[in-house]
Amino acid sequence: MMNITFQNDFGKILMTGGGKGPAWKIKEITGLGIPEKSFAYNTFAGVAGQELSSVSVLARTITMNVDIDCRFPQISMSRAACILNADGVLTIHHGTKHRAISCRCTSFTKTEKKAAFFEATLQFVADNPYFHDCEEKRVVISRKNDKLTFPFHLPVTFSERVNSTDLVVSGEEASEPVIYIFGDDPENTDYDDNSITIVNKTANAFLKLNYKISYGEQIKIDIPNREITSNLRERMFQYLSDDSFFSSFVLLSGANEIECRTNVRINAYILFQNNYLEAMY
């Protein structure tokens, strides 16, 4: 059975595909499949046919027809209208699949009451047409591993620093991640080169910060929102190297080889969401 929730700061509305449960029963839903595309073509005199010049993925429209059981109202109509009036997240649960999409309700129309039910139609528009995981994935890039085991014999290595990882994206579309970097050098050692470079070897892309991180400092590279900040500085975009581009640093579908290149001691991890073409196929 499918369960759908629309939620924001004003509350949530729970809808179900059938059976006992919420007062909002889904009768029909469209817009959960592959997103619609727009194609542009060029034609040339004396040349048969046409040439594809560009493809654009359009915003997603999700339309639901529901019955609202007034005998067991979990929320009032005025409360529901308040929730639907603000942007939110539509979450879909069906079997083992759990997908979410950020959207806004652009239309909520209901007919006159029939017996104990209202019939209503809701339309949601998602500017980003891809569904994503309900929770972000967290993958460590750079860390210190404890290698001390007992009993041990000298000479012994107490720890080692790992600065690379293999990250797997299970979604069909590329993902723009958020990167967190933490200063882990209590002596604040100064090197000839204090820069930090995060590399995605698979995508042949990198982001380089020409900046000396302080002990305890937390840097956030927010690629989706094109921002770099830290707990010590409000804005750090000026430290990004001229040959680094946010638009090229994406996580591709499949395996991604991520590496951190730096002389300084740091801990770093990536947060990302898988992007899916559809919700329930």
- Provide the pLDDT for residue 75: 80
Distance CA 183, CA 191 (A): 14
- Provide the pLDDT for residue 172: 92
Q: How far apart are the first and last CA of the chain?
A: 14
What is the residue-level pLDDT of the chain in tens, covering all 281 positions? 789 999 999 999 999 876 677 889 999 999 999 999 999 999 999 899 999 999 999 999 999 999 988 877 778 888 999 999 999 999 999 888 899 999 999 999 987 777 778 889 999 999 999 999 999 999 999 866 554 454 545 544 444 566 889 999 999 999 999 999 999 888 777 888 899 999 999 999 999 999 999 999 999 999 999 999 999 988 899 999 999 999 999 999 999 999 999 988 899 999 999 999 998 76
- Provide the pLDDT for residue 157: 45
Task: Write down the residue that tokens 């990167």 correspond to.
Answer: 179
| Closest to 251 (Cα-Cα) out of 143, 137, 162, 128 | 137
- Provide the pLDDT for residue 69: 85
Report which residue type is found at 17.
G
- Provide the pLDDT for residue 145: 52
- Provide the pLDDT for residue 159: 44
- Provide the pLDDT for residue 258: 94
Domains and CATH numbers, the chain: 2-129 (2.40.30.200), 137-276 (2.60.120.860)
- Provide the pLDDT for residue 200: 96
Paired tokens of 63: 């339309």
